[in-house]
Amino acid sequence: MAIKESREILIEATPEEILDVIAEFEAMPEWSGPHESAEVLETGEDGRPSKVKMRVKTAGITDEQVVAYTWDDNVVSWSLVSSGQQKSQDGSYTLIPKGDNTLVKFQVTVDPNVPLPGFVLKRAVKGTMDAATQELRSRVLKVKKGK
């Protein structure tokens, strides 16, 4: 059964600064708890990654996945190409400028291969949501400060 979750967070940065951090997949294991490794397999005409291979561990479950990315003005979306643990995954970040800040809307739908106990699923979803919002915000602010 597919699980759909969403969360919003305000980040003190421009959409471009946030998208640059998201696009730097090789650095993702440095700031995103679930990501053990990430390797860009293909790059689109815009220079942004279009296919990425990742090793992700959440709630004690490790998964090797390949994900296809699409980049628009202030939106990045993705779909699962292959995975050992999921039937499907679709997600997106939508970035809405708010003065000097950006409202980041994150949403993801995941369909695991096997049914998981509720407490395991809840822990996995929380880890994913925290990494996608709070850990992203921390990384963006750290990168921005280092400029």
In the predicted model, what is the mean pLDDT of residues 74-97? 96
Residue with tokens 């940065």: 13
Q: Are 139 and 43 in contact (CB under 8 A)?
A: no
Q: What is the pLDDT of residue 63?
A: 93
Q: What is the pLDDT of residue 89?
A: 94
The values of phi and psi at residue 127, to 5°, are -60, -40
In the predicted model, what is the mean pLDDT of residues 116-120? 74
Domain boundaries, the chain: 3-146
Q: Are 2 and 111 in contact (CB under 8 A)?
A: yes
Cα 142 to Cα 17, 30, 146: the distances in Å are 11, 12, 6
Residue 28 has pLDDT above 80, yes or no: yes
Fold that domain 3-146 belongs to in CATH: Alpha-D-Glucose-1,6-Bisphosphate; Chain A, domain 4 (3.30.530)
d(CA 95, CA 97): 7
Q: Which two tokens stand for residue 28?
A: 């993702």
Q: What's the whole-number average pLDDT of the chain?
A: 92
- Half-sphere exposure of residue 14: CA atoms within 13 angstroms, side-chain side: 5
Q: What is the pLDDT of residue 147?
A: 64
Give 7-20 pLDDT, tens digit per residue. Answer: 999 999 999 999 99
